[in-house]
Amino acid sequence: MGRSGELPRQPDRGGARPDDTGCGVLHVDMDAFYALVEVRERPELAGLPVVVAGGSTRGVVLSASYEARTYGVRSAMPAARARRLCPQAVFVPPHFPHYTEVSTGVMRLFRSITPLVEPLSLDEAFLDVSGSLRRLGMSPAMVGEWIRGQVFDAHWVTCSVGVAPSKFAAKLASGMAKPDGLLVVPADGVLEFLRPLPVSALWGVGARTAAALHRLGCRTVAEVAATPLPALRRSLGVAAAEHLQALAQGHDERRVVPDSPEKSVGAEETFDVDVADRAALRRELLRLVERTAATLRRRGLRGLTVALKLRYPDFTTITRCRTLAEPTDGGRAILAVAGELLDVHLPVATSIRLLGVRIEQLVAGEGGEQRTLDEMGPGWSEAERAADAARSRFGAAAVRPATLLDAGPRPAVAPRPE
């Protein structure tokens, strides 16, 4: 929702701001985050069109500087298309440790202001500052301006801030303030703010829902708000219709929830060339499972459901799941199920372009391992945790399954765009 590229801009020109009384929700969104971190690391790139993209021939744009965006380059766009749109762009590979370092510092700053911080990703978060204003001696907009200055002074990257009475309005406002701006949506001006926006600004409206709304004659938020609810229900379904009309009428009762529990943990890979070889796919599946299980153990989580994701050459994507008898964080147990799902749902000699595995229905805490009657001494759980400790101390290649010791070049991983 509120995809910033589709929103009208209201650049920050300073001067008097609207009354921010009752606008305790802030949405802070870093500007072209990965790209600006790369420029910070390489100052000679300042002012140039910079594109952060994976090295795969099927890679996607993870981030683009605003200079590159003037040529139509956008996040999630195929890198090959970005090169055609902007041949003079400087393409750089992602450096995730740098992004994580900056993100950690920014989130720490947020939590020094209020404990009510809800991160959405590395580069954006909601803050509820209502209970901190008296202590800080600031208004919500003043807090937003202070955050912008602190982020730039400490990390040499910019951010945009939306200030509003609700999460929905604050997120839209930060997108409209980009880049490097701040926009206040007054408590008594939410409807005026929302009315002229396109229906794509509504939370949950993608291409299909937008098309359905257009068929009803709804192209703006105001038209959705004015459409009889029964008509929306017939076109969108009951839940979606009621949700979208509530937002269109300015109703959003969601609170800022700090540290929302994770719903799943996983990993996926997009191959440079479609892969049909079952042995190669098994090796990649093992690699993905090892990475996923190690993440579970590092975060103190276990999962009950194993999900396998396959994408075929025509971009058809399927996900198949199986629920275990008890939660696990063990790679051996996950691989057994994921391997069976692969055998059942991928016909022999059929090629795929993407393979992924996820663990869902997560629970916190380390669990015991069910051993077989003939198993003596330490179990697989202890062995995997010992391997985790060795990798943490000596690097990722210190301990790995023998199957992966001579597995040839790895397919390119497709990271998520910012």
Tens of pLDDT, residues 4-38: 556 666 655 556 788 999 999 999 999 999 999 99
Average pLDDT over the chain, rounded to whole? 86
pLDDT score at 15: 60
Q: For residue 258, is it within any domain?
A: no
Whether residues 268 and 242 fall in one domain: no
Lowest mean pLDDT among 46-55, 256-265, 342-351, 396-405: 396-405
Q: How many C-beta neighbours within 10 Å does residue 121 have?
A: 12
pLDDT score at 270: 79
Whether residues 97 and 144 fall in one domain: yes
3-state class of 124 per DSSP?
A: strand
Whether residues 146 and 279 fall in one domain: no
Measuring CA to CA, which residue among 215, 219, 249 is closest to residue 235? Answer: 215
Phi, psi at residue 327, to the nearest 5°? -65, 150
Residues 6 or more apart from 183 whose CB is under 8 A from it? 10, 12, 160, 161, 162, 163, 173, 174, 176, 177
- CB-based contact 64:52 (threshold 8 Å): yes
Indicate the number of domains in the chain: 3
Whether residues 178 and 29 fall in one domain: yes
Q: How many C-beta neighbours within 10 Å does residue 398 have?
A: 12
Whether residues 72 and 5 fall in one domain: yes
Q: For residue 18, is it within any domain?
A: no
Mean pLDDT along residues 192-197? 96
Whether residues 234 and 268 fall in one domain: no
If you ran DSSP here, which 8-state letter would residue 130 be given?
G
The domain boundary residue, chosen from 152, 183, 214 = 183
Q: For residue 151, is it within any domain?
A: yes
- CB-based contact 218:174 (threshold 8 Å): no
pLDDT score at 120: 92
Query: Residue 268 is part of a domain; what is its CATH number?
Result: 3.30.1490.100
Whether residues 48 and 177 fall in one domain: yes
Q: Which helix (H) or strand (E) holds 36?
A: helix 33-41
Q: By percentage, how much of the chain surpasses pLDDT 70?
A: 82
Distances (CA, A) of 261 to 75, 100, 129, 265, 363: 27, 19, 21, 11, 9
Q: Is the dihedral of CA 147, 127, 164, 179 positive or negative?
A: positive
Whether residues 156 and 237 fall in one domain: no
Whether residues 242 and 296 fall in one domain: no
Q: For residue 346, is it within any domain?
A: yes
- Is 273 a residue whose pLDDT tops 90? no
Tens of pLDDT, residues 297-313: 888 899 999 999 999 98
pLDDT score at 189: 96
Query: Residue 199 is part of a domain; what is its CATH number?
Result: 1.10.150.20
Residues belonging to the active site:
124
Whether residues 4 and 131 fall in one domain: yes
Q: Distance (Å, rounded) from C-alpha 257 to C-alpha 127? A: 9
C-alpha of 213 from chain center = 26
- Is 272 a residue whose pLDDT tops 90? no
- Is 92 a residue whose pLDDT tops 90? yes
Measuring CA to CA, which residue among 108, 105, 107 is closest to residue 120? Answer: 107
What domain range includes position 386? 264-365+379-404
Mean pLDDT along residues 224-252? 94
Q: Distance (Å, rounded) from C-alpha 65 to C-alpha 75? A: 10
Q: For residue 370, is it within any domain?
A: no
Mean pLDDT along residues 407-417? 46
Residues 6 or more apart from 272 whose CB is under 8 A from it? 56, 57, 58, 411, 412
pTM for the model stands at: 0.69
Q: For residue 219, is it within any domain?
A: yes
- Is 127 a residue whose pLDDT tops 70? yes
Pinpoint the alpha helices (H) of 346-413: 380-394
Q: How confident is the model at residue 113 (pLDDT cuts 50, 70, 90)?
A: very high
Measuring CA to CA, which residue among 66, 1, 71, 78 is closest to residue 34? Answer: 66
Q: For residue 315, is it within any domain?
A: yes
> Residue 334 burial by CB count (10 A; 0-12/13-18/19+): exposed, middle or buried?
buried
- Is 367 a residue whose pLDDT tops 60? no
Q: Is the dihedral of CA 412, 298, 403, 405 positive or negative?
A: positive
Q: Read out DSSP for 158-193?
A: -EEEEEESSHHHHHHHHHHT-SS-EEE--GGGHHHH
If you ran DSSP here, which 8-state letter would residue 411 be given?
P
Q: How confident is the model at residue 364 (pLDDT cuts 50, 70, 90)?
A: confident
Mean pLDDT along residues 232-258? 93
Whether residues 7 and 65 fall in one domain: yes
- CB-based contact 345:318 (threshold 8 Å): yes
Tens of pLDDT, residues 309-363: 999 988 788 999 999 999 999 999 999 999 999 999 999 889 999 999 999 999 8
Phi, psi at residue 91, to the nearest 5°? -95, 130
Query: Residue 123 is part of a domain; what is its CATH number?
Result: 3.30.70.270
Q: For residue 76, is it within any domain?
A: yes
- Is 42 a residue whose pLDDT tops 90? yes
Whether residues 80 and 213 fall in one domain: no
